[in-house]
């Protein structure tokens, strides 16, 4: 059966998430040891610096840590406050919260968004804010 132009999708999924890393080796180690991410291949050099490809243990999103000498993060301002750009979904948010705290990661308190979602925020070694979340939509 042939797919018509109207039936074709433009995109299949979100592919990669790029995060700046000031010290790529330290950041790779942190994602592996603190969050359980897997390094998919040795870091490699592009035309500017090093890039590392990681994935969460049970996930499909690919995280690319991109070495930079600039003092920057992937966060943005929302009404004058820093706001994270991505979320890691958690099957058991309370367990994740306690585990990260036990690993010495500073986490916010768990916040509730109505009856359907709850989350907390933590920061990687390069200053990127990350939301850990659970929702009924996961």
pLDDT, tens only, 4-51? 767 788 888 788 999 999 999 999 999 999 999 999 989 999 999 999
Average pLDDT for 53-66: 88
What are the distances in angstroms from CA 98 to CA 31, 104, 113? 17, 10, 20
pLDDT of residue 89: 92
pLDDT of residue 8: 83
* Predicted confidence (pLDDT) at residue 111 exceeds the cutoff of 90: yes
Q: Alpha-carbon Rg of the chain, whole angstroms?
A: 17
For the whole model, what pTM was predicted? 0.87
pLDDT of residue 28: 97
pLDDT of residue 60: 75
pLDDT 10s digits, 63-104: 999 999 999 999 999 999 989 998 999 999 999 999 999 999
Residue matched to tokens 């004058």 = 80
Exposure string of 19-41, with b = 16+ CB inside 10 Å and e = fewer, is: bbbbebeebbebbeebbebeeee
Beta strands in the chain (DSSP E): 16-21, 38-39, 44-45, 50-55, 62-67, 76-78, 81-83, 87-89, 111-113, 117-123, 129-135
pLDDT of residue 1: 63
- The residue ranking higher by pLDDT, 65 or 60, is 65
């Amino acid at each position: 059966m042939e797919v018509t132009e109207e039936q074709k999708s433009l995109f299949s999924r979100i592919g990669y998430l790029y995060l700046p890393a000031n010290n790529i080796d330290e950041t790779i180690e942190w994602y592996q040891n603190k969050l359980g991410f897997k390094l998919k291949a040795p870091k490699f050099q592009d035309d500017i610096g090093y890039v590392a490809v990681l994935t969460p243990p049970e996930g499909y999103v690919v995280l690319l840590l991109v070495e930079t000498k600039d003092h920057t993060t992937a966060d943005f301002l929302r009404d004058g406050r820093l706001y994270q750009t991505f979320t890691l979904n958690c099957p058991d948010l309370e367990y994740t919260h306690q585990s990260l705290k036990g690993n010495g990661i500073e986490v916010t308190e768990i916040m509730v968004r109505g009856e359907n979602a709850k989350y907390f925020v933590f920061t990687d070694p390069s200053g990127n804010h990350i939301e850990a979340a659970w929702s009924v939509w996961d």
